[in-house]
A and B are shown apart, each in its own frame.
Chain A
């Protein structure tokens, strides 16, 4: 590495000023880093939706920076009533209680309906098809047990510094959670 050109008066003075500035900046950075490090966490943060605050507005499907939103519907089977007429699966005015597309609420037919025994049916979400629009969540919460809810799926989420969905959420339901507990699953009806 070559030395800087040597010694006229102005250069030395400037060099001295530069050294001083460098020292000051390093000290400042050190202080800032120290102040923050005492409050710093090892764990990273990830974004997650709080189902208790979600208003089912549909922004999750449209606001995510990804083409196919990282938000998907999740089913808390333990809370589900397994009803024949699932108000999260069926449109309000179904012609019949079958899986025909015109009877379904989901715009992409992402909910699978499987018969278990009379009168119980299992409803499960196909994440490839789900767009995270919360139509089924609204139906389930309004007339059913509320076992369907939206969650950010971390195999898809980019974990942006500023979540575009969080910014536009009318219920302020999207918040940072520690990365080792990245889900806020529903365990009760409300």
Chain B
């Protein structure tokens, strides 16, 4: 109940209003200032520890690097003549080991893969067919793929047979020198105990090992498989893991190469790295770790464009490893540390 209204009401009222306003203002300011020093996100998906390689595991150092002759480099190979063959854009370039371009083949479409025989024949893999060139660069043959949807991503030859890895049909085709298909390797076949290749992104590679068996990467299963030329599965190794000794992410390894003593060089994308395993599949060392491929990591993770990321590797007669960075179209030459 209100007493008779008097002057004193208003003065006290003014005072109280001012004090209340001051308190509110302080409270508001205090609340605003306690907002955030960043606290940790307990649900963070943290793969950053895999981006760094233990320096003790890195056995190679970079000697030099140079740009590929063209942009959109995809594959490189080293022929028996110790020359480098680089697929970049619509061209296949034959380079000396220091990067000087010798021969250049202009193709009608993107150059996807390449292999060279001892007699100088160059097998150029375009997306859906293979073209055969002689040592001087003249085209001698064109081999079609038996399948309409083909994507050749890897070639290997020992001079007699040519093996073409088809990433879409999930098989390695065996061609003879005349272009006739002599067999299919790696396709799913329950009777022959072949589980089949899983190739989510177009990176299927094939390599002829010095032990007489083929090596094919099976990226979806994170394995490397060894086949006879007739297609019998002899051995399988590989483990899925983001850790250094395993194959990371969705689909790795993406490329294979061989050192002269039979050890295998593997390339991965996602966490881009090049590693060395023994012929039986035991992890040995790292050639170049994820820290040395920042553009590659960015392409696959931030831009979500793993199809255009990737690495390829080849080994020369002196044991130097050439790494092709598909994102930057550069070739790096790596040499074993002393």
Q: Do chains A and B touch in the complex (CB under 8 A)?
A: yes
A contact residues vs B (CB 8 Å cutoff): 56-58, 61, 81, 83-85, 87, 92-94, 97, 105, 107, 118-119, 133-135, 138-139, 141-144, 190
Q: In this complex, what residue of B is CB-closest to A131? A: B43
Asked if B301 contacts A94 (CB within 8 A), the reply is: no
Instruction: Report Cα–Cα, A190/B306, bound state, in Å.
Output: 13
Asked if B250 contacts A135 (CB within 8 A), the reply is: no
Q: Mark B189-225, 1 if CB is under 8 A from A, else 0.
A: 0000001101010000000000000000000111000
Instruction: Report Cα–Cα, A138/B41, bound state, in Å.
Output: 13
Number of interface residues of B (CB under 8 A): 25
Q: In this complex, what residue of B is CB-closest to A146? A: B304
Interface of A is mostly: loop
Q: A87-B250, A93-B241, A119-B198 are in contact. Are A58 and B41 (CB under 8 A)?
A: yes
> B248 — which chain A residues lie within 8 A by C-beta?
92
> A141 — which chain B residues lie within 8 A by C-beta?
304
Q: In this complex, what residue of A is CB-closest to B249? A: A143
Of B41, B42, B195, B250, which one neighbours A119 at CB under 8 angstroms? Answer: B195
Asked if B250 contacts A143 (CB within 8 A), the reply is: yes
Report the number of A-B residue pairs with Cβ-Cβ less than 8 Å. Answer: 58
Instruction: Report Cα–Cα, A107/B42, bound state, in Å.
Output: 10
Asked if B240 contacts A85 (CB within 8 A), the reply is: yes
Asked if A83 contacts B220 (CB within 8 A), the reply is: yes
Asked if B250 contacts A85 (CB within 8 A), the reply is: yes
> A143 — which chain B residues lie within 8 A by C-beta?
249-250, 270
Q: In this complex, what residue of A is CB-closest to B198? A: A119
Asked if A135 contacts B249 (CB within 8 A), the reply is: no
Asked if B45 contacts A142 (CB within 8 A), the reply is: yes
Q: How close is A111's CB to chain B, nearest CB, in angstroms?
A: 14
Asked if A57 contacts B241 (CB within 8 A), the reply is: no
> B108 — which chain A residues lie within 8 A by C-beta?
none
Asked if A57 contacts B47 (CB within 8 A), the reply is: no
Instruction: Report Cα–Cα, A142/B302, bound state, in Å.
Output: 8
Q: Name 5 extra pairs, CB < 8 A, besides A93-B50, A190-B304.
A: A84-B221, A92-B242, A93-B242, A119-B198, A143-B249
Q: How close is A4's CB to chain B, nearest CB, in angstroms?
A: 21
B243 within 8 Å of A (CB atoms): yes
B contact residues vs A (CB 8 Å cutoff): 41-45, 47, 50, 195-196, 198, 200, 220-222, 240-243, 246, 248-250, 270, 301, 304
> B221 — which chain A residues lie within 8 A by C-beta?
84, 119
Q: How close is A19's CB to chain B, nearest CB, in angstroms?
A: 26
Q: How close is A61's CB to chain B, nearest CB, in angstroms?
A: 6
Q: How close is A86's CB to chain B, nearest CB, in angstroms?
A: 9
Asked if A56 contacts B45 (CB within 8 A), the reply is: yes
Asked if A119 contacts B220 (CB within 8 A), the reply is: yes
Asked if A135 contacts B50 (CB within 8 A), the reply is: no
Please, could you name 22 A-B residue pairs with CB atoms under 8 Å apart, sorted by A? Answer: A58-B44, A83-B200, A84-B220, A85-B222, A85-B240, A92-B50, A92-B241, A93-B50, A93-B242, A93-B243, A94-B241, A107-B43, A118-B196, A119-B220, A133-B43, A135-B43, A135-B45, A141-B304, A143-B249, A143-B270, A144-B250, A190-B304
> B195 — which chain A residues lie within 8 A by C-beta?
118-119
> A57 — which chain B residues lie within 8 A by C-beta?
41
Query: Which 9 A-B pairs have CB atoms at the shortest separation, nearest pair first?
Result: A58-B43, A92-B242, A133-B43, A138-B45, A143-B249, A143-B250, A135-B43, A85-B240, A93-B243
Instruction: Report Cα–Cα, A161/B248, bound state, in Å.
Output: 44
Q: How close is B178's CB to chain A, nearest CB, in angstroms?
A: 36
> A58 — which chain B residues lie within 8 A by C-beta?
41-44
Instruction: Report Cα–Cα, A85/B270, bound state, in Å.
Output: 15
